[in-house]
Structures are given as C-alpha cells and as structure tokens.
Amino acid sequence: EPEVTQTPSHQVTQMGQEVILRCVPISNHLYFYWYRQILGQKVEFLVSFYNNEISEKSEIFDDQFSVERPDGSNFTLKIRSTKLEDSAMYFCASSGGQTELAKNIQYFGAGTRLSVL
C-alpha cells in the first residue's frame, strides 16, 4: 500500500540553526501538507501546497518557515532559524488522486520529531 514517508524520524538541532524536514508523498497525489503537534497539544495545520505554490497557510507559518517541492518526489519544510518553541512532531500529508472524493482524504506520514536545544 502506498504511504507517505518522512525523514529523519528524529532531528535534534541547536536553537538558531536551520533544519529541513523531508517528505515523499504518495506518488500520484497532487496536494501536500505540513502539520505539527507540540507535545500534549492538538495537531495543527501549517501549510498546504498545490501546483507548486502555497494554497493555504496558518498563522503559525511565518517567515521562518518555507516549503518546497524541489523535484517530482520530495516535499520539504525548512525552518530558517529554529526556536525552542519549534520543538514538535511534524507530520507531512498528501491527498489527491483521480477523483474528487480521493482529494478529500489526507494520508499522513509517521512524522519527524524535532527537538530544538
């Protein structure tokens, strides 16, 4: 069964450093997303990406964050200068197949746990 894969599973970084979280969405999907979950809190939407541009973003997704689809398979989230409060589990998701209904199910990866020290 196709799945969304994320690397690394755990990333440790120093405050102020740049990190790139990587995701390989399901191959025929057209919509890509990042969510995060701070420990003990809700899963929160960050950004959605379609047709090589951001289609929606939340207030959390400020200038420190950026997303990119550098090639036909990867989807990345970059945090330019990490802060302690960026420590969270980051989930990538993808959706969108050939039918309208398929568009509505978002399939999630296992997540990358980011620890900012």
Partner 1 sequence: AQSVAQPEDQVNVAEGNPLTVKCTYSVSGNPYLFWYVQYPNRGLQFLLKYITGDNLVKGSYGFEAEFNKSQTSFHLKKPSALVSDSALYFCAVRDENAGNMLTFGGGTRLMVKP
**24 Cβ contact partners less than 8 Å away, ≥ 6 residues apart:** 4, 5, 6, 73, 74, 75
How far apart are the two ends of the chain, measured CA to CA in Å? 37
Residues 33/99, Cβ–Cβ less than 8 Å: no
- Measured from the CB atom, the residue of 14 and 98 that comes closer to partner 1 is 98
Min dist CB 15 to partner 1, Å, is 26
- Measured from the CB atom, the residue of 73 and 104 that comes closer to partner 1 is 104
Min dist CB 16 to partner 1, Å, is 29
Rg (CA), the chain: 14
Min dist CB 85 to partner 1, Å, is 19
Residues that bind partner 1 (CB under 8 A): 4, 6, 31, 33, 35, 41-45, 48, 55-56, 58, 91, 93, 95, 101, 103-111
- Measured from the CB atom, the residue of 12 and 81 that comes closer to partner 1 is 12
